[in-house]
Structure formats: C-alpha cells, structure tokens
Homo-oligomer: A and B are copies of this chain.
Amino acid sequence: MSRHVLLTGFEPFGPHSVNPSDLLARSLEGRIIGGRVIRGRVLPVESRSLRGRLETALREERPEFAIGIGYAPGRAALGLERVGVNVLDFELPDASGVTRKNAPVLPGGPAAYFSTVPLEEIADAWASAGVPGYISNSAGTYLCNQWLYEALSLTAKAPAPIPVGFIHVPALPEQAMQLGAEKTPSMTLELMLKGIETAIEAIAQRSVPQAPAQPQRTGEKVWIPGGVAKR
C-alpha cells in the first residue's frame, strides 16, 4: 500500500490572475517526494465550502499527512504557520462574494489548534537547503487560516491524527513586478518547489516508522495514519 501526501493550493482569486499555490499543487501532483506520492488538489477560494471540500479530500485521499499552501503577497519568505485560530475576518470577498467580520470558523470550537507538523525540523531543513523560511505566528484571518483550523479540527479526533501543516508563499517574481518590485519581495517557483519538497521530506523522515522498533504496529495495519484516518 502506497503512502500519500495531500497537498492543496488555492485557485487564483480577487485581483490576482495567478496563484502560486495553484501552480505548486499542480506541479507536484503525482510526484514522489520522501517516498510519498503527492496528491495535489486545488481548492476554490470559497469560505463556505472549504470544510466540506477538505473533508472530502481527506476521506478520499487518506493521506499520511496534509499540507496546505496559500499565497501571501508581501511576505519575504516561506511562512510555516504555527497555529490556526477560530476566526474569520476579511473584507476582501471570497470567490462567492462572502465577507466575514470577527466570526468563528467553527462555532463552539476551541480558540485554536496548533499545526501538527514538526515546525523546528522543517525550519532547520529549510536552513540546510538554503530555502528562506520561518515559523510564522499568524496565518491571518482569511481562508488560509481557515484551511489550517478546519484541517486540524477534522483530523484532531482521529485515533492517530495525521500531521497537518500550512505554508504561506510570497509573490512570484512576475507578481512582484505587478505589485511594485521595489516594495514586494518575491521568490521563484523553483525555490518555492524546493521549499515544499524539503518540508515534505522533513515530515516524511519524522513519520517513517522504524520496522524493528515497532513490529506490532505493522501487523495491526494502524501505523499508516492514512489507514487510520479513513475510519
């Protein structure tokens, strides 16, 4: 049984005709990284349907872990999000024209969930690989934060929750030029790809079960988080 990674991007939205997260998810779809097959999906920037789409993707793909990617023009480097908070607050309408004012992602849900991917290991791997990235303390209050909160909320109750993380990417060079090159940092798609691959490898390396040490797990077929998540 092969192991999968769910990797999602978002469709272009608002004033942006290109969304680097869309390009990244499609570029990596089907690739094998860290011994895992990448299952790329591109989601519409639609707040109301996001939870349902994520739930479907997690159920269908049964991934070993899940990574969301989002576009954050103005950021200078890859931002590995530490926490998803139970807030939606945005004036820029999503693709369905929805706006939110200090509303919860999940009414009655906890204030926040911590990302369950190994933040320090990924940041260290980026440093070793020469990819500029950092641990970010806020994913904002738009759909990227919603993705992280929803995905963590959906997986938190599983017997063996899969690692879930979110990475914000800066503008592409072409986008920086449109937004004003003097003020807008950028990163090439190649370096973004390297950063996503490096992150996946770091997670995969940590997730690898060591056969001699955990033989019983293999027997039970529960050591593959993807297998657990489908229950």
Who on chain B is nearest to A185 by CB? B185
A86 vs chain B, min Cβ distance (A)? 8
- Answer yes or no: A49 CB below 8 A from chain B CBs: no
- Answer yes or no: A96 CB below 8 A from chain B CBs: no
Please tell me which one of the listed residues B102, B127, B138, B176 contacts residue A132 in the complex, with CB atoms under 8 A apart.
B176
Contact, CB under 8 Å: B119 / A177: no
A197 vs chain B, min Cβ distance (A)? 15
Collect the chain B residues with CB atoms within 8 Å of residue A111's CB: 83, 110-114
Contact, CB under 8 Å: B119 / A186: no
Contact, CB under 8 Å: A136 / B76: no
* Residues in A177-223 with C-beta less than 8 Å from chain B: 177, 180-188, 190-191
Number of this chain's copies in the complex: 4
CA distance A137 to B37 in the complex (A): 35
- Answer yes or no: A227 CB below 8 A from chain B CBs: no
Collect the chain B residues with CB atoms within 8 Å of residue A161's CB: none
Collect the chain B residues with CB atoms within 8 Å of residue A68's CB: none
Contact, CB under 8 Å: A186 / B77: yes
Contact, CB under 8 Å: A76 / B185: yes
A14 vs chain B, min Cβ distance (A)? 16
CA distance A120 to B191 in the complex (A): 28
- Answer yes or no: A134 CB below 8 A from chain B CBs: yes
Q: What are 27 sample pairs from A and B whose C-beta atoms fall under 8 A apart?
A: A75-B182, A76-B76, A76-B181, A77-B176, A77-B181, A77-B186, A78-B181, A79-B182, A82-B85, A82-B87, A83-B85, A87-B137, A89-B135, A101-B120, A110-B112, A111-B111, A111-B113, A111-B114, A127-B177, A130-B173, A131-B173, A137-B138, A137-B140, A173-B191, A188-B190, A188-B191, A190-B190
